[in-house]
């Protein structure tokens, strides 16, 4: 996939046929007295790869977790997979709650791959992959096994279907985690620094899987410190600095932006 010169800073209404898969407007998030996100707005177009880059502590993972509602923003608007999120607000406009029925629906449309794999140690590889399709999407065990076997083959882990996570390398565990996400057949895939917990020799095997998913035209939002990889596979880059979007656009535009030259220069 070659870098695009498009800029996706426009936030299209979800009623539009060109509505983005994810759209955020003026998201803020605080932890106590710490402002982590400070009015972040972005759009993730359908079928595109958006990578979020920035220094540690800039709010990247918090932003991603807000996109999956694992963290509840304090203010702002969010739309995911054609649905504007229905937040409960107090008289001051602060967000105080979520529509639980809507949240359950969105869990079937958005899948996330975490830094630390988060596999269940008491389940086999196949057991890890089929659990969510059965519980969240009410797939029969037969259907879930068929999906699980298909996606384990897709990530090169079919031969380890009966193994337990403790007997897998970090790279193998992360590929199983990707298969688990794919088995939900989500509309949107989120990756939170998927290689940060891996030994250097295992990074490329995971990046290879993600590159293949990008080539398939999947909608993906990824937090990463892999600058070369982000530049190669992304349609859009978002550079987050101290809770603000300091630059966004095509990889070439962001890498050339003076505000983030110090951060991205080693990968240029």
Of the chain, the percentage scoring pLDDT greater than 70 comes to 92
Give the tens place of pLDDT for each residue, 88-142. Answer: 999 989 999 999 889 888 988 999 999 999 999 999 999 999 999 999 999 999 9
Give yes or no for residue 10 having a pLDDT over 70. no
Give the tens place of pLDDT for each residue, 135-189. Answer: 999 999 999 999 999 999 999 999 999 999 999 999 999 999 999 999 999 999 9
Evaluate whether 211 touches 191 at the Cβ level (below 8 Å): no
Give the tens place of pLDDT for each residue, 211-237. Answer: 999 999 999 999 999 999 999 999 999
Give yes or no for residue 74 having a pLDDT over 70. yes
Q: Report the pLDDT value the prediction gives residue 82, as an integer from 0 to 100.
A: 86
pTM score, whole prediction: 0.89
Q: Give 79: exposed, middle or buried? Use CB within 10 Å, 0-12, 13-18, 19+.
A: buried
Spell out the SS3 assignment of the chain.
Answer: CCCCCCCCCCCCCCCCCCCCCEEEEEEEEEECCEEEEEEEEEEECCCCEEEEECCCCCCHHHHHHHHCCCCCCCEEEEEECCEECCEEECCCCCEEEECHHHHHHHHCCEEEECCCCCCCCCCCHHHHHHHHHHHHCCCCHHHHHHHHHHHHHHCCCHHHCCCCHHHCCHHHHHHHHHHHHHCCCCCEEEEECCCCCCCHHHHHHHHHHHHHHHHCCCEEEEECCCHHHHHHHCCEEEEEECCEEEEEECHHHHHHCHHHHHHHHHHC
Cα torsion at 117, 37, 17, 215 (round to 10°)? -40
Across the range 30-40, mean pLDDT stands at 96
User: What's the token pair of residue 171?
Assistant: 């790279």
């Amino acid at each position: 996939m070659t870098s695009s010169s498009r800029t996706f800073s426009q936030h299209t209404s979800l009623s539009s046929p060109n509505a983005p898969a994810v759209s955020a407007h003026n998201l803020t998030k605080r932890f106590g007295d710490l402002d982590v996100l400070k009015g972040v707005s972005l759009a993730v177009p359908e079928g595109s790869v958006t990578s979020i880059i920035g220094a540690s502590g800039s709010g990247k993972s918090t932003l991603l977790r807000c996109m999956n509602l694992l963290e509840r923003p304090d203010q702002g608007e969010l739309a995911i997979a054609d649905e504007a999120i229905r937040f409960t607000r107090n008289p001051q406009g602060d967000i105080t709650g979520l529509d639980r029925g809507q949240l359950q629906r969105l869990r079937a449309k958005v899948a996330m791959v975490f830094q630390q794999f988060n596999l269940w140690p008491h389940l086999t590889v196949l057991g890890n992959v089929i659990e969510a399709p059965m519980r969240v999407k009410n797939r029969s065990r037969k259907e879930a096994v068929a999906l699980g076997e298909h996606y384990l083959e897709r990530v090169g882990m079919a031969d380890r279907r009966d193994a337990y996570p403790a007997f897998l390398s970090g790279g193998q565990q992360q590929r199983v985690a990707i298969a688990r996400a794919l088995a939900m057949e989500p509309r949107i895939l989120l990756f939170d620094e998927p290689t940060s917990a891996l030994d250097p020799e295992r990074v490329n095997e995971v990046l290879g899987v993600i590159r293949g998913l990008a080539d398939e035209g999947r909608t993906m939002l990824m937090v990463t410190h892999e600058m070369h990889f982000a530049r190669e596979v992304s349609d859009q880059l978002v550079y987050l600095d101290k809770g603000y979007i300091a630059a966004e656009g095509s990889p070439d535009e962001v890498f050339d932006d003076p505000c983030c030259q110090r951060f991205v220069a080693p990968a240029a």
